[in-house]
Amino acid sequence: MASDPSSPGQSTPQTPTEKPSTPPVNILSSPVSRVYSIIHPALLLALGAAHFETLVANPTKGLLNSLPWLTLSQILYVVICLPPAGSTETTAPADGKSSSRSPGPASRHGKHGKRKQHVNSWTCIWSRLLPAFLALALTFALATPALAALLVLFGAPLTTHNIETILGAAHLAVLSATALIYTHGLDRSVWNEVWGIARPADAVWGSALGTGLGAWFGAIPIPLDWDRPWQAFPITILTGAYIGYAVGSFVARTPFVFGKRIIFAAEDVDDAEKKSN
């Protein structure tokens, strides 16, 4: 990903500037959450692989069939692994900061310390399921049309393949937006950062960015003259998006990247230059 021209800033990351903005999101500290957060991207890849054949044979059917499974596993993921918007925000930052410096002790704490019992409590589950379903609703209502428009702007056909585009956008939206909405709600400052590609790196933002980049790179094999059925429009893009999701989610969690932002740092130099001339 660091070699990607569209986000060159990733190779020149900076330490997070201390702005009063929402800090990076941490995976919940319980062992179940930690383990599942590792399994989940692999699970999604497996899901994608399982549906690949149907997808190639009949893109619309493949997209439609895999969408419920994708949605289900994303809900499972956000409910198990992520703090919902608002409720845990007060505890998450402190936790997050300590683990951003050294995630090791936190996980050890989770393993050897007293196990938290609230995971099984129904109220707790409900307090997470409700935001998860809200996030899902917003994903389909807002993020899907927005991503469909983006797909078209990036070259998806407008006059044909409309169903594929919409369904593809739905997949991209569930991959990228559900977790973002679940963890941040409709916090304006966070969404400004999202639109500006200026969020600090964490599992949620990393996978969202990875999804987008993967989709962009997924367009590469389409013009090749191999005449394979999988070169048809939404297939490679979604494959790229799934792989990008997994890669982004892992890379953003590594200690070296976690919490850092993509900075387009050239501004000040240029301003100075312009004035000097």
* Closer residue to other proteins in complex, CB, 33/165: 165
Say whether residue 152 binds other proteins (CB under 8 A): yes
Report the alpha-carbon distance of residue 152 to residue 158 in Å, rounded. Answer: 6
- Token readout for 232 is 């048809």
CA angle 75, 34, 103 (to 5 degrees): 135
* Closer residue to other proteins in complex, CB, 18/273: 273
* Closer residue to other proteins in complex, CB, 72/220: 220
Say whether residue 256 binds other proteins (CB under 8 A): no
Say whether residue 232 binds other proteins (CB under 8 A): no
The residue whose two tokens read 């050897």 is 112
Q: By three-state DSSP, how is residue 219 classified? A: coil
Per CB under 8 A, the list member of 196, 228, 229, 254 interacting with other proteins is 196
- Token readout for 221 is 């094999």
Contact 76, 90 (CB under 8 A): no
* Closer residue to other proteins in complex, CB, 69/230: 230
- We find the least distance from the C-beta atom of residue 155 to other proteins, in angstroms, to be 6
Residues 8-27 that bind other proteins (CB under 8 A): 8-9, 11-12
Binding-site size, other proteins (CB under 8 A): 37
Contact 55, 70 (CB under 8 A): no
C-alpha 170, offset from chain centre: 14
Report the alpha-carbon distance of residue 197 to residue 207 in Å, rounded. Answer: 13
* Closer residue to other proteins in complex, CB, 133/264: 264
Return the number of other C-beta atoms located less than 10 Å from residue 182's C-beta.
Answer: 28
Per CB under 8 A, the list member of 6, 102, 121, 162 interacting with other proteins is 6
- Residues at the site binding other proteins, with contacts judged by CB under 8 A: 3-6, 8-9, 11-12, 152-155, 158-159, 195-198, 216, 219-220, 222-226, 262-267, 269-270, 273-274, 277
